Amino acid sequence: MGAIPLISAAPWPVRAAAQWLGRETYHDLIMPIATPKQYAAMLDAAQNGDYAYPAVNITSITTINAALKAFADAKSDGIIQMSTGGGQFASGLNNNDAVLGCIVLAEAAHRLAERYDILVGLHTDHCQPEKAAGFLKPLIEATAKRRANGQGNLFQSHMLDASILPLEENMAISKEYLELCAENEIILEVEAGVVGGEEDGSAGTEDMPAEKLYTTPEDMLIVYESLNGIGRYMFAATFGNVHGAYKPGAVKLRPDILKQGQDAVTGKHGEAAKFDLVFHGGSGSEKHQIKETLEYGVIKMNIDTDTQYAFTRPIADHMMTNYEGVLKIDGEVGNKKVYDPRSYLKKAEQATADRLVEACNDLESTSKTIFGTV
């Protein structure tokens, strides 16, 4: 990409930091939102250290703050991600614009993260192929425009979920978007096999044939041989995982599927071919199974259902405990202190952060930030 221009047009906190440090370019600065080099180093560190990053879906300033608080409290780097549905919500009811909402959330995350001493990657979650031209391409273009202006990437990675298509068609469109991403030092996440359940419009369904829930070693070889050499990517292989909430034992996870696929690929193409794997449908998973996936190359685990519940649970408690205060009953005036949204959203932020710290512990990323070293 070459040197990034002088940062005279950068936001004030960045300019001030540059002046204080005597540095002139974005590449010379330590930025909480990871540069492409830092993001790659994050993934390498996780792969080499047998740990993974929680990737939490956010929809608002409050959920961004919860994620940043959790990663900072755990001294863990992490990934903040947005779905098309999350973007639509964030854009407001009158807009319902996934691209606008994701840009607004990403810009907010860039500014808020400036106060933290951990690294964060920004990512977009499941985007089906029929939505890609209207969602991924404008977001990739937004990063390209920032780069042309001497700014850092808006997003560090995107997910194209073409798993609903036959594998050959999946890889054809994945190659197209990987090329677009690689031009802008963006990492693409792809998926083969189908995650069960449903998550914010993702392709999986609860009645999916069982064999579709398990990516085969042959499939994993095809993915590697289709995408190798184009650019860096992450791979969501499926091993029985299901989106949404479920009781322990209800889902038949087979982490050994990941090992079999990795062995097939590295056996034919060498250790350098090892995948950076992504664990979808991780909410509710048993801790020993999470641990096993780390041994097989999982470096990112999506967490959404559990954090949604963590966010909502204290709000429900607040409303029920303060019922007569949050409602104006029988002509009374209520209690402004308890119907002020801040009174319960602070509790939601804290509870979400607490659940994410637990995820950092489960994924063994706690106290492993590489901030300041790359």
Q: Is the pLDDT of residue 340 over 90?
A: yes
CB 286 within 8 A of CB 37: no
Q: Is the pLDDT of residue 182 over 80?
A: yes
pLDDT tens, position by position, 67-81: 999 999 999 999 999
Q: Is the pTM of this model over 0.85?
A: yes
Crossing angle, helix 61-74 and helix 305-321, to 10 degrees? 110
pLDDT tens, position by position, 305-317: 999 999 999 999 9
Q: Is the pLDDT of residue 259 over 80?
A: yes
- Calculate the dihedral angle through the C-alpha atoms of 224, 215, 155, 371, rounding to the nearest 10 degrees: -90
The tokens for 108 are: 């907010």
Which is nearest to 105 in space by CA: 125, 128, 122, 120? 122
Quote the CA–CA distance of 14 and 7 in Å, as a whole number. Answer: 8
Torsional sign, CA 202, 307, 312, 206: positive
Residue labelled with tokens 């693409």: 188
CB 194 within 8 A of CB 208: yes
CB 313 within 8 A of CB 280: no
Q: Is the pLDDT of residue 244 over 80?
A: no
**Whole-Å CA distances, 318 to 106, 117, 306, 324, 346:** 30, 32, 19, 11, 11
Q: What is the DSSP string of 220-285?
A: HHHHHHHHTTT--EEEEE-BS-BSS---TTSS---THHHHHHHHHHHHHH-GGG---EEE-S-TT-
Q: Is the pLDDT of residue 373 over 60?
A: yes
pLDDT at 7: 42
Catalytic residue numbers read 125
Instruction: Give the other-Cβ count within 10 Å of 225's Cβ.
Output: 14
User: Could you tell me the pLDDT band of residue 3, with boundaries at 50, 70 and 90?
Assistant: very low
Three-state DSSP class for residue 126: coil
The residues that bridge with 233 in the sheet, in sequence order, are: 188
* Average pLDDT along the chain: 89
Give domain limits for the chain: 32-318+352-363
The tokens for 280 are: 């979808």
Q: Which helix (H) or strand (E) holds 102?
A: helix 98-113
Contacts of 122 (CB under 8 A, 6+ apart): 33, 79, 80, 81, 82, 106, 109, 110, 154, 155, 156, 157
Q: Which fold has domain 32-318+352-363?
A: TIM Barrel (3.20.20)
pLDDT at 193: 77
